[in-house]
């Protein structure tokens, strides 16, 4: 019975994304007592459906990676979702606003993984040793829920609001930086909106990837060589509007930009 409900929820969320319309949160429309564990089962069905449709997975992404967000959401660990090939926007490219519902943008550091990382017990130092490159990114999140209103199980089921990603072109070895000290600014139409540093992500962005490896290990999964993983937001998320020119500048990693089209 439960699996049928989970499949129904996954179909509901996929339809909301495809039809670009906001929907009532799952915990109100389907199952008020949905747990985080059950929400990940929904997410797995949603992800599998995308794979079955021929979409290629780029890698996982981390969410809720700041302690402040944990307090806000009443949680004790981050969440994760998955990025697919259809979500990629070229650096300097155009994001069609009509493809989305109510998008927001945030600045992140991405990790290109050089060898498999299998938890449990993985540390940030081990992640850095197995990371081939780091690169700058702008993640566009777009909850499928009305007014971005959701509980933790809702957002997990909704693939952690994953929507679009713009990766920068600068690939650098993680050993070249103190990643926790990398600063990033997020500007829209030349106006500074947000700034942050690598330390905003669990003290060091590699810590977020380590947590991911350990979370995946609970269900016998691992981080795979070749995946590009978004480690979590250095800045708060900023709402986007048609006509916006968005720029993220990262110390030592260059600039990532995109424009918001119709």
Structure tokens at 187: 């500007």
Confidence of residue 262 (pLDDT cuts 50, 70, 90): very high
Our count of domains for the chain comes to 1
Pick the more confident residue, 119 or 66. Answer: 119
pLDDT tens for residues 76-125?
899 999 999 999 999 999 999 999 999 999 999 999 999 999 999 999 99
**Residue pair 2/38 in contact by the 8 Å Cβ criterion:** yes
pLDDT tens for residues 144-182?
999 999 999 999 999 999 999 999 999 999 999 999 999
**Residue pair 172/133 in contact by the 8 Å Cβ criterion:** yes
pLDDT exceeds 90 at position 72: no
CA–chain centroid gap for 163, Å, is 8
Cα 160 to Cα 174: distance, rounded to the nearest angstrom:
26
pLDDT exceeds 90 at position 227: yes
Q: Mean per-residue pLDDT for 29-45?
A: 97
Of residues 173, 178, 171, 176, the one with CA closest to residue 256:
171
Q: Which pLDDT value is given to residue 74?
A: 80
How would you classify the pairing of strands 245-250 and 162-167?
A: unpaired
Full domain range(s) for residue 146: 2-261
Contacts for 71 with CB less than 8 Å, ≥ 6 apart: none
Cα 214 to Cα 125: distance, rounded to the nearest angstrom:
14
CATH for 176: 3.90.850.10
pTM (two decimals): 0.96
Cα 36 to Cα 63: distance, rounded to the nearest angstrom:
14
Average pLDDT across the chain, whole number: 96
Cα 64 to Cα 159: distance, rounded to the nearest angstrom:
13
Q: Which pLDDT value is given to residue 1?
A: 63
Q: Mean per-residue pLDDT for 178-205?
A: 97
For helices 2-19 and 36-52, give the axis angle rounded to 10 degrees.
60
Name the DSSP letter for residue 204. Answer: S
pLDDT exceeds 90 at position 71: no
Output phi, psi for 46, to 5 deg: -65, -45
Cα 178 to Cα 251: distance, rounded to the nearest angstrom:
11
pLDDT tens for residues 16-36?
999 999 999 999 999 999 999
């Amino acid at each position: 019975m439960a699996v049928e409900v989970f499949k129904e929820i996954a179909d509901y969320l996929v339809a909301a994304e495809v039809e670009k319309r906001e929907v009532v949160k799952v915990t109100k429309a389907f199952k008020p007592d949905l747990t985080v564990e059950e929400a990940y089962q929904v997410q797995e069905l949603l992800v599998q459906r995308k794979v079955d449709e021929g979409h290629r997975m780029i890698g996982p992404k981390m969410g809720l990676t700041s302690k402040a967000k944990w307090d806000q959401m009443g949680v004790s660990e981050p969440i994760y979702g998955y990025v697919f090939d259809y979500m990629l926007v070229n650096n300097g490219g155009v994001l069609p606003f009509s493809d989305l519902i109510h998008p927001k943008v945030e600045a992140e550091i991405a990790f290109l993984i050089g060898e498999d990382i299998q938890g449990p017990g993985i540390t940030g130092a081990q992640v850095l040793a197995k990371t081939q490159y780091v690169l700058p990114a702008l993640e566009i999140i777009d909850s499928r829920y009305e007014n971005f209103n959701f509980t933790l199980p809702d957002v997990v089921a909704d693939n952690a609001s994953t929507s679009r990603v713009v990766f920068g072109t600068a690939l650098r070895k993680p050993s070249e930086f103190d990643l926790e000290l990398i600063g990033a600014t997020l500007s829209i139409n030349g106006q500074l909106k947000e700034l942050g540093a690598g330390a905003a992500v669990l003290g060091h962005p590699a810590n977020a990837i380590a947590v991911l490896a350990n979370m995946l290990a609970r269900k016998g999964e691992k981080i795979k060589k070749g995946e590009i993983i978004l480690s979590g937001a250095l800045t708060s998320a900023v709402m986007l509007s048609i006509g916006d020119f968005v720029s993220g500048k990262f110390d030592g990693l260059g600039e990532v930009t995109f424009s918001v089209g119709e």
